[in-house]
Amino acid sequence: MAPVSDSLDFLVHLLDLEPIEVNIFRGTQPDEERQRVFGGQVAGQALMAAGRTVDHGRVHSLHSYFLRPGDPAVPILYEVDRIRDGKSFTTRRVVAIQHGRAIFNLECSFHVDEEGLDHQFPMPDVPAPEDLPTLPERLAPMRELLGDWFDRPHPIDQRYVGGLPWHHSEVEAAPFQQLWIRADGELPADPLLHACVVTYASDLTLFDTILQPHDVRWDDVNFMGASLDHCMWFHRPFRADEWLLYDTDSPVAASARGLARGFLYDRSGRLVVSMVQEGLARVIHGPG
């Protein structure tokens, strides 16, 4: 197996939790200056904690809530509740804790593979990832403006189809976004690790789709955005270190919340993962 890149090695170690007691794990934090913990990190670590207590089956769904902003300066404890161990399905609940309070709650289910009905949406027709520039190549002209973000480890290779979501435009964009993603290097053949890497990656860009039709961006002083919940369904086996098309849309934004959906297809056109996220999308209006 080829060695992983430094940035992917960073993510693999981030997901490699320390067992400190039965059903209790500790997750480390990146050595970076952040205002809060990245949601994909805590979701990926929580799924890893759950999977470490499961003897058979692979994850087929997760449902999670972001309860409080995580503190990036201290480790996160993950407490696993073994809800049910069945012949076909195994269910786990995980609570992520900092400073004695829950910051994140996840319920997930693992399923022994079975044969059954089979259909799916067709994969969209898009350019191949090899024909698209890398994200660093597209962001290079803005390197000084991006500061230390540009030099952080980026373990997920992202190739956008069309414009970047953060660029203001005179014309409001439709609430759709497509990009190819894959881990930046070769991963061990561990289905749980691949699921956790995709869980991490799924939160990198999904919220951006909610902002597409609006003249609002993350760094606007009058905007407050945060993930509220995140749900995923894992349909078929896949590898996170092979190209996956991330096809997303946002059906609605209302009441200071927005909804986004995502579908991951592998290169052969199989729909392998679906997800839905709701996010806080609050515009703070000044006095008067």
By CB atoms closer than 10 A (0-12, 13-18, 19+), residue 207 is: buried
Sign of CA dihedral 234, 235, 240, 245: negative
Ramachandran region of residue 255, left (φ > 0), alpha (ψ -120 to 50) or beta?
Answer: left
Separation of alpha carbons 180 and 265, rounded Å: 9
Comparing CA positions, the residue from 65, 67, 138 lying closest to residue 103 is 67
Separation of alpha carbons 152 and 170, rounded Å: 31
Give yes or no: 169 in active site: no
Catalytic residue among 184, 227, 241, 266: 227
Which tokens in the block code for residue 5?
């890149």
Comparing CA positions, the residue from 232, 267, 5 lying closest to residue 128 is 267
Separation of alpha carbons 144 and 34, rounded Å: 18
Catalytic residue among 157, 184, 203, 247: 203
Give yes or no: 268 in active site: no
Give yes or no: 227 in active site: yes
Q: Which residues are catalytic?
A: 203, 227, 277
